[in-house]
Structure 1
Amino acid sequence: MKKFYLITLLVINSIPSLFAQTDRMDWFKADKFGLFLHWGLYAQTAGDWKGHAVKGGEHFMLYERIPVKEYARIANQFNPVKFDADQWVRTAKQAGMKYIVFTTKHHDGFAMYESESSDYNIVKRTPFKRDPVAELAKACKKYGLKLCLYYSLGRDWADPDVPTNWPVKAGRSNTWDYPDEDSKVFNRYFERKVKPQITELLTKYGPIGVLWFDTPEMISKAESAELKTLVNRLQPNCLFNSRIGNGFGDFSVSEQTLTPSSKKAWESCITIGQNWGYNKHDSVWKSPEVLVRHLVEVVANGGNLLLNVGPKSDGTFADWSAERLKTIGSWMAINQEAIYNTRPWKYVKEQNAETAKNEVDNSKNTIKDAVFDATPSTTKPDIYYTAKENTIYVFLRSWKDPEVTLNKINSEMASIKNVTLLGNAKKIKWILSDSDLKVSLPLDYNQNIAVPVYVLKITLNS
């Protein structure tokens, strides 16, 4: 009896920790949609260097082999006087986004916050003299968004001790300032810069939703484990992605693709245009329709969408970015219940030969570097699903026909109480049979809709 009591007590005491582990991920799995912000010294040059357009976008320091001392002089001109953290976060909220991920240090090694451990930062080196992270933290608290922070882990072109191995040895290293790759010791950089800066980020700005690591490169398993322990100690509820390295991470990342990277939690990060950072030569932008299609596809597959904007050097969003976010926000205002807090249904989509062919056609680009995009551009009509509780949501993407046939829903697998169209109060006609569900949309279903993605809400009998 005594033994039984002790075992029972141990089980009871373990329950809070089990629930706490689950709760850490709850907000991430529910929120679905976030804003990625790539902002740094590369916004000042905006795609040019010494009179010519550069390759590699925000990676141009590597492509142009610019010495650290020369690159650092860009900071002398960086003065984003129009930066308004309140406006940035309000724009994200109005777009239907629930969290933001801000680049605190990209591969150039320049910190976009006030770092006590390295004076190579926006407060110490620029005329701006302000800390964007502090201001974003305040704005996020005001509008109820989670603040998440990006940190380039395994690449830092300002540091002499950062070796790389992609795509070959020294492939992404600063070998023009620091040519001896074999003398570089990652742990020296890890102790000198990474751990102090991660400590700063987790102790100065309040609760952080995610530490979004990038490019683990040469970090060892022991160092990844040490970094995980550091994060857990300073902020136990802070998540970190799989790019902490060596199999650790709360969720995985699919970059510039909509393909699930994990059977568990995952996130797709994509650009609106071609580049992550602002580039004045960028002229190919995804339409709001395509971006909403991407959001739907990712959520239907159980993922989150992290949509990137590269702010300009003056601290504002380019007009084409702001306009797209506003249009997405209008769509989300009508259809957000089919996105937030949903789960994948038993079927992701209505499969047909046409959509299958589109997936194959848009998966050919496999070279991943600074400028890379393997997301589909098609806008052919198709159907995706999400679900919550006793509700199935049916996304009619780029839809052009008032008659809808859903082959995945039939009388053997569902007992339907009602069918409605989000954003339209008119009654929907529907017929459920042994083989399918046929739905007739209202004649005005596509009126005054900037994004032709419509959502049927199917309520099941409990």
Structure 2
Amino acid sequence: MKKTIQSIICLVMFCNLAFAQSNHDKLQWWKEARFGLFLHWGLYSIGEWNGKPQKGNEHFMFAERIPLKTYAAIGESFNPVKFNAEEWVKYAKAAGMKYIVITAKHHDGFAMFNSPSDTFNIVKATPFHHDPMKDLALACKKYGLKMCFYYSLGRDWASPDATWAHEGSKSGNTWDFPDEKVKDYNKYIENKVKPQLRELLTQYGPIGVIWFDTPEGTTPAQSESLRKLILSLQPNCIVNSRVGNGFGDYAVSEQKILAGAELKPWESCITMSGKWGFSKFDKAWKSPELLVRNLVEIVCKGGNLLLNIGPNSLGEFPDQSIQNLSAIGHWMKLNGEAIYGTKPWSSLNEYALNATDNHKDVMGKSGNDFTSKKISPDLYFNQKGNHIYVFARSWTATEIVSETLGQIKNIKDITLPGSKEKVKWEMKADRLIISLPEQAIPEIPVYVFKISTR
């Protein structure tokens, strides 16, 4: 009996170890990628409501309590004739991004894909009559990016069974379906969520991530069943933490960057402008310098940056987003080796300010963006193999003097990726002094130095 119990314990330990190893293996591409494109695109991408800014932007159906019938009528003129999947994917690839996450179904319940299980979709309910996700999946395959789907879980304002999860929740539609007593959330899960997940995982080839949002009132049993369904269809598909109840593969930080380094897998999703979805009134565009600063900080802390753009209802990227992607791409072409496949170093930064700013005073257009807008000189560090990378963000001095780097006693060489100019450096009084090459200030003033150790 004792041997039997020991055998069972060993078997359980072996299975847990095998699961952990399997989970680690399927996350490997994602952890090495470090940089992805987030796309919020749907009926809300009309960018206005009655000639005015939409209250709540992509949430405006909820914020303005628009009846489902009225909201669905938007689809009658939703015709993204300028949508070009290859163009979108090439923008992302040129920017150095490795995966794309797009809103297959947002909180409004409208499917931006061919969904045989629900006619409230772009193929059936718009004059476009075409499945853009099919085009995107093919373009991602062609250009070597991972195709991933966002899916709103607990919030669905088109479903009569999505319940009001708790006070302050935005999960259910109470203006069209006011009687909470007749709603059955499990019916919503079984009759809408699972059929649509099955469609997303069987119609478009390999999917990198199912990116859930707003688990709201989802129970542990429901979260577990969703994960099992996904893995039964695509065992290598990653599931983010918003499947709920601890059944995800990695954590999500929305419009925030973690305070310190974190070795467990995590991702920060951040808007490029002031809104998630397209708005004709959105002028709060972040500069390429600020966005690269965000990327560097997140990666040095062990995370991925999922950078969001809201295409318009015609299927176009806003001009400013294209310009930003191009500038970031030029920087990544020179410095991508310091981003991909790296991990936190023993020290995170130097000269970095701990104070946080008031985002409303700086940007003025976004209600939930808690990323710093300060631009000041500082140093961030990460590593890969025998190399330590030094990011001199917004650096204006002619040299770097670092006590942190002065602790390294086995430096072999220091180079500037993308430059043939020799980097001058010396150790002096336990400080590493690096002279910046005499060259023009780059388009994005974030220098990267590669320290090779013996």
TM-score, normalization by structure 1 = 0.91
Q: CA deviation at 1:182?
A: 3.7
Partner SS state of residue 246, structure 1: coil
Query: Could you say which residue in structure 2 is the equivalent of 1:197?
Result: 196
Matched, 1:428 2:428: no
Which residue does the alignment assign to 2:136?
136
Return the match for 1:372 from 368, 385, 398: 368
What stretches of structure 1 of length at least 5 have no aligned partner?
Answer: none
| Cα distance in structure 1, aligned partners of 2:366 and 2:372 | 18
Give the whole-Å Cα distance in 2 for the aligned partners of 1:330 and 1:87: 18
The change in CA–CA distance for 1:340 and 1:263 in structure 2 (over 3 A counts) is closer
Deviation at 1:312, TM superposition (A): 1.1
**Distance in 1 between residues matched to 2:273 and 2:67, nearest whole Å:** 28
- Does the C-alpha gap of structure 1 residues 362 and 25 become closer, same or farther in structure 2, counting only changes over 3 Å? farther
Aligned length: 443
Q: How does 1:122-201 map to 2 (within 5 A)?
A: 122-165=122-165, 168=167, 171-201=170-200
Shift of the 244–35 alpha-carbon distance from structure 1 to 2, 3 Å rule, reads same
The 5-angstrom pairing of residues 15-30 of structure 1 reads 19-30=21-32
User: Quick one: distance in 2 between partners of 1:139 and 1:260?
Assistant: 36
Q: Identify the residue that residue 38 of structure 1 maps to in structure 2.
A: 40
Distance 2:243 2:328 in 1: 31
Report if aligned partners of 1:57, 1:370 keep a CA contact under 8 Å in 2.
no
The 4+ residue runs of structure 1 with deviation greater than 6 A are: 9-16
1:395/1:453 contact within 8 Å kept: yes
1:60 matched to which residue of 2? Answer: 60
CA contact 1:33–1:306 (8 Å) conserved in 2: yes
Q: Deviations 1:308-357 (Å, cap 9, x if unpaired)?
A: 010111111110110100100000000000000100111111155xx112
Shift of 1:14: 9.0
| Residue of structure 2 equivalent to 1:246 | 245
- Residue from 404, 408, 418 that aligns with 1:408: 404
Distance 1:297 1:51, change over 3 A: same
Q: Check the 8 A contact 1:260/1:266 in 2, yes or no.
A: no
Q: What one-letter code is carried by the residue in structure 2 that aligns with 1:450? A: E
Partner deviation per Cα, 1:175-210 (whole Å, 9 max, x = no partner): 110112343221010011001001111111111000
Identity %: 53
Is 2:274–2:366's contact at 8 Å kept on the other side of the alignment?
no
Q: What is the aligned partner in structure 1 of residue 255 from structure 2?
A: 256
CA contact (8 A) 1:58 1:370 kept: no
Paired position in structure 2 for 1:270 = 270
Q: In 2, Cα distance between the equivalents of 1:13 and 1:258?
A: 34
State whether residues 53 and 280 of structure 2, in contact with CA within 8 Å, keep that contact through their aligned partners in structure 1.
no
CA distance in 2, matches of 1:156, 1:15: 37
Query: 1:397 — aligned with what?
Result: 393
Distance in 1 (CA, whole Å) between partners of 2:206 and 2:324 is 29
CA change 1:329–1:169 in 2 (3 A) is closer
Change over 3 Å in CA distance of 1:130–1:370 after alignment to 2: farther
Q: How big is the shift at 1:170? A: 5.1
CA distance in 2, matches of 1:322, 1:441: 30
Task: Name the amino acid aligned to 1:100.
Answer: I
Going from structure 1 to structure 2, the CA distance change for 1:169 and 1:394 (only over 3 Å counts) comes to closer
Contact 2:391 2:449 (C-alpha < 8 Å) held by counterparts: yes
Question: Which whole-Å CA distance do the structure 2 matches of 1:224 and 1:343 have between them?
Answer: 30
Could you give the per-residue CA deviations for residues 248-306 of structure 1, whole angstroms, max 9, x where no partner exists? Answer: 21001010111269651000001111111110000110000000000000000000000
SS in 1 for 2:389: strand
Q: Over the residues paired in the alignment, what is the CA RMSD in angstroms?
A: 2.2
Q: Find out whether 1:317 has 2:317 as its counterpart.
A: yes
1:204-219 equivalences under 5 Å are 204-219=203-218
CA distance in 1 between counterparts of 2:192 and 2:296 reads 39
Letter matched to residue 130 of structure 2: R
Structure 2 residue ranges without an equivalent (≥5)? none
